Chain A
């Protein structure tokens, strides 16, 4: 029941979000229609960090309590984190071409988002290269914890490295860094993507649990 509600809500909200982006949100004065990709790009990156935070907490929880469900949640969150991080990089590149005349530049924040994507991929590869069970869960939990602790260093390097990237506007203390309608649209997009993420995460957890239960049954047939 809850899954159906979440699925319906996600579809409705994403549909509404896309509609509002194209038919309500005004175009930004300097960047024009290109700016609208921000409503996917910024929520994607925030969702990535949300996924990483969930994985971090569940990984610590797993090492402490050794409950399999925590490993399942951490794994599912990391998988989705990789997806949203990839989406952020792609949308960032699409935004970058008309804005900076390049799909990619080794700007610090872009570079270190790429690094974060590689950390996600490393985690998923590690899952593939280890046999399922306690050892896999433990090793991957440690990698998730270490990877998350890299985040402050990512943030720090934005300040010190030359950057083409838009500095933070939502949390900016400067007045009117972003106009109200655009800000509202952005906040709404973030909420929509959070709901989508919640639906995808809960579905992925359910699927992973089913897979593991089946694998346990098969393994103990012999």
Chain B
């Protein structure tokens, strides 16, 4: 349970990002605390995915600082990568490898201890044990998402960055995913999620950030709003 007296686990200070000659992010600053879930809203092309990629260390900011537990991420890139787990639109899986092989490969790179047991456990919990030796190219989109969740279960990161995680998931899979996120938060994990499906994820959110024209326009506490009032306020940003 975060009291907000603890220092933030991730802090962005005046972050800018240019692609070519276009400025995508123009001075973004916010903090993420342990055990909290933050929803990032914004129109298409507002820079949400770019922001997530900067937080994950995939791309560098053009200006500004990203701090992980107070340390600039340029000074501890591997520590940042170890702490971050990411789910995005794309699968990030090798099509010709099986589920088990994909998990083994990525857990070896992350030097996960007892990875065999963790992989078996993750595959059982995500319901993929029966198909774990079949090539991933035959999986449905729901199964691929569950495999990505299994990856996160094996890695046990401290921070989850989720880019439209509910896309392609049926009702049961959404429920399963929400249960996973709740358990993750209860264990002290931090979540930053991009989603246009406010109704699906609102209940678990602690903070809502609205990105507009490259800046954080609004920073709201979820408890001050109901789902309906939020939907009304940000109708154009939802599905």
Asked if A and B touch directly (CB within 8 angstroms), the answer is yes
Q: Is the CB of A216 within 8 A of B21?
A: yes
Q: Least Cβ distance of A166 to chain B in Å?
A: 47
Give CA–CA (A216, B18) in the complex, Å: 10
Q: Least Cβ distance of A19 to chain B in Å?
A: 46
What mask results when residues 41 to 69 of chain B are scored 1 for a CB within 8 Å of chain A, else 0?
A: 00000000000000000000010000000
Chain B residues with CB below 8 A from A215, complex form = 21
Chain B residues with CB below 8 A from A30, complex form = none
Give CA–CA (A215, B23) in the complex, Å: 12
Q: Least Cβ distance of B58 to chain A in Å?
A: 13
Q: Least Cβ distance of B163 to chain A in Å?
A: 21
Q: Is the CB of B21 within 8 A of A134?
A: no
Q: Least Cβ distance of A142 to chain B in Å?
A: 16
Residue of A nearest to B18 (CB): A133
Residue of A nearest to B19 (CB): A133
Residue of B nearest to A222 (CB): B22
Give CA–CA (A218, B22) in the complex, Å: 9
Q: Is the CB of A132 within 8 A of B20?
A: yes
Chain A residues with CB below 8 A from B18, complex form = 133-134
What mask results when residues 1 to 40 of chain B are scored 1 for a CB within 8 Å of chain A, else 0?
A: 0000000000000000011111100000000000000000
Give CA–CA (A216, B22) in the complex, Å: 7
Residue of B nearest to A214 (CB): B21
Residue of A nearest to B17 (CB): A134
Interface residues of A (CB under 8 A from B): 131-134, 212, 215-216, 218-220
Interface residues of B (CB under 8 A from A): 18-23, 62
- Taking A133-B19, A133-B20, A216-B21 as known contacts, 16 extra A-B pairs with beta carbons closer than 8 A to each other, sorted by chain A number, are A131-B20, A132-B20, A132-B21, A133-B18, A133-B21, A134-B18, A134-B62, A212-B21, A215-B21, A218-B21, A219-B20, A219-B21, A219-B22, A220-B21, A220-B22, A220-B23
